[in-house]
Amino acid sequence: MMSGLGKAIMQRRIAKKMSRNRLAAGICSPNAVQKIELYGTIPRFDTLAKLLAKLNCSIDEVWQEANVENYSEYTTIRKEIAYYNKKHNYIHVEHLINGIDPEIYNSLPLDEQQYLLYNQAAVLLKVHGKTDEACTVAENALELTLIAEGDRFSENEMLLINLITSIRQNDYFWYLLKKAYIYYLNDRINIADKTYMTIANGMLQYYFKNQEWQKLLEVSIETEEDGLEEDMLMYVTNIWFSKGVALYKLNSCDKGREYIKNAMEHCLLLKQMRNYNYFQQHLVNLGINIKE
């Protein structure tokens, strides 16, 4: 049965004299577009956004045209969650999530439910310090879509895997994290820069923990340029510190000290005192003296 959303999309596509194949190209299958238009299938949020971008219209316009008030309301909330997430204002994120009507939540596609569960887990971890609860929520969210033996990962899955590994030192989730990172490097999939940097940061932690210095150096080199982007500066301290330690342990001591010092100075500049203290403790544990 054709839904209001499907009808709105089909009308705009026909008005632009665009075939389903052309609209779907590079986004999804033509069959997926057909299901959206004719059978009321609700696409993933990111898929819908890409389809509508090709049709030169916004999500809000189509929701309004389709007279789907619930989804229009969710679209607004979703944008606000993304905004406050970027600002690391997790208290506001929690307020927004708690305000979502259960009926709307239950009608959302799985990937959108997963996105909200990821944010709920992040709130539990970063606002309330409830590590076990955060991990349970994240694991349950991951189970919604993850194909354990598969080699492809969605952006939500990558974020959830990284969140879990930041809490639990579990070999299975480290394994998934490595697979997700390799998947990104091999396929260069279209994910947000922040998601890529989050996964890369997880890999730095993994190789640091296991003292795999050559691998640590390789990942830090791969991510350094991206870390220097203006909105990614929060990651550059970890990248430089990891690179410095790796170089030091691989017998490039002077160059290693230089990167470590830069990382420490950057921490002070950005007021990342928690990172600064962690770095100092790591240097003591590893027997590295940057004053030599």
Q: Where in the chain is the domain with CATH 1.10.260.40?
A: 4-67
**CATH number, span 75-187:** 1.25.40
pLDDT tens over the chain, length 292 residues: 446 778 888 888 999 999 999 999 988 888 888 888 886 676 777 788 889 889 998 877 776 666 555 566 777 888 899 889 878 899 999 999 999 888 788 777 777 889 999 999 999 999 999 999 999 999 999 998 887 677 778 888 889 999 999 888 788 998 999 888 888 777 655 566 677 888 888 999 899 989 999 999 999 998 888 777 655 667 889 999 999 999 999 999 999 999 999 999 999 988 889 889 999 999 999 999 888 6
pLDDT at 1: 46
pLDDT of residue 155: 81
| CA–CA separation, 138 and 118 (whole Å) | 6
CATH architecture of 4-67: Orthogonal Bundle (1.10)
CATH 1.25.40 location in the chain: 75-187, 192-292
pLDDT at position 222 is 87
Measured CA to CA, the distance from residue 72 to residue 62 in angstroms comes to 9
DSSP-assigned letters across all residues of 241-257: HHHHHHHHHTT-HHHHH
Topology adopted by domain 192-292: 1.25.40
Q: What integer pLDDT is reported at residue 271 of this predicted model?
A: 86
pLDDT at residue 212, rounded to an integer: 95
